[in-house]
Homo-oligomer: A and B are copies of this chain.
């Protein structure tokens, strides 16, 4: 079995440049001349991140949007993307989706590579952004006394996934075509003490923010807006793919964009995370450990 944690540990030992941020942030941050670049690369793999029978246009959309979301978490303006594409069936439909998502975000396709191979097919995307504010927001800046905020609501992607899985008529758009919170990230960057996007589940990503900042996050579960019925609140807090922004602000600062205050930042206690007063002592089972679950399963059992 591949040992992802072990390999990432080896990469961290290699990635000692400060721009890499210890491979523990949403993106690399590289000052270059009078510009600060923000760089991110994500892969999708059929059967791991992409459901069988997925519309290639949706794959293209998600590939771009999830990378743009990483830029949003840094308050970075996208300046272009590079695509790594494995040819297969219905390449034209992928190109359609790519055109749509690039138009939506006003981002140019700059280059990339096209290869044969698979199945399974894999897809890579590099997004290049320009920081609009320095210091560039990071996961490690949350301070005791700050408040914890979240844009949007959790669980919409989960419902979309379930609609696809079960073949119901429910709307699956949130899962297939997530929206990156780009304008929100740009507006928040000068104000936040820490920020990240929620890709792997609110609780797991909050855990990571707490660990990076060396603080404890006390989350008020009922304060988290959810797209699901109330009885599935805990599922919604653990499911990923919603791509909202999770951020911390000083107590006297109100966010300039619609967002919900979902908790408080405290001195580091014996757990990095408290949910409704209960300590969370391990990140196991909190959400999606990145890309090791294939394909996603419902969490409602």
Interface residues of A (CB under 8 A from B): 2-4, 6-8, 10-11, 14-17, 19-21, 23, 27-28, 30, 32-35, 37, 39-49, 79-80, 82-89, 91-92, 94-95, 98-99, 102, 108-118, 120, 122, 124, 126, 128, 130, 290-292, 294
Chain B, Cβ-Cβ closest to A27: B111
A15 shortest CB reach to chain B, Å: 4
For residue A130, which residues in chain B have a CB less than 8 angstroms away from its CB? 32-33
In the complex the two chains form, is B33's CB within 8 Å of A33's CB?
Answer: yes
In the complex the two chains form, is B109's CB within 8 Å of A14's CB?
Answer: yes
User: Which of A2, A3, A35, A102 has the most chain B CB atoms inside 10 A of its CB?
Assistant: A2
Number of copies: 2
A164 to B113, CA, bound (A): 26
Which listed residue (B98, B111, B117) contacts A20, Cβ 8 A? B111
A109 to B41, CA, bound (A): 12
For residue A11, which residues in chain B have a CB less than 8 angstroms away from its CB? 83, 95, 98, 109, 112, 114
A27 to B82, CA, bound (A): 10
A44 to B124, CA, bound (A): 12
Chain B, Cβ-Cβ closest to A92: B10
A8 to B240, CA, bound (A): 33
For residue A15, which residues in chain B have a CB less than 8 angstroms away from its CB? 108-111
Query: Quick one: given A43-B84, A91-B6, are A115 and B291 in contact (CB under 8 Å)?
Result: yes
Which listed residue (B79, B102, B290) contacts A32, Cβ 8 A? B79
For residue A108, which residues in chain B have a CB less than 8 angstroms away from its CB? 15-17, 19-20
A291 to B92, CA, bound (A): 19
Query: Quick one: given A34-B33, A79-B30, A87-B4, are A122 and B117 in contact (CB under 8 Å)?
Result: yes
In the complex the two chains form, is B10's CB within 8 Å of A122's CB?
Answer: no
For residue A34, which residues in chain B have a CB less than 8 angstroms away from its CB? 33-35
A111 to B41, CA, bound (A): 7
In the complex the two chains form, is B10's CB within 8 Å of A82's CB?
Answer: no
User: Which of A14, A28, A37, A116 has the most chain B CB atoms inside 10 A of its CB?
Assistant: A116
A167 shortest CB reach to chain B, Å: 25
A281 shortest CB reach to chain B, Å: 26
User: Which of A87, A116, A117 has the most chain B CB atoms inside 10 A of its CB?
Assistant: A117
For residue A84, which residues in chain B have a CB less than 8 angstroms away from its CB? 41-43, 84, 124
For residue A86, which residues in chain B have a CB less than 8 angstroms away from its CB? 43, 45, 122
Chain B, Cβ-Cβ closest to A48: B117
Known: A11-B83, A20-B111, A86-B122. 4 other contacts (CB 8 A): A8-B114, A14-B95, A32-B35, A118-B120
A63 shortest CB reach to chain B, Å: 11
In the complex the two chains form, is B8's CB within 8 Å of A115's CB?
Answer: no
A244 shortest CB reach to chain B, Å: 20
Query: Quick one: given A45-B86, A80-B19, A117-B47, are A111 and B40 in contact (CB under 8 Å)?
Result: yes
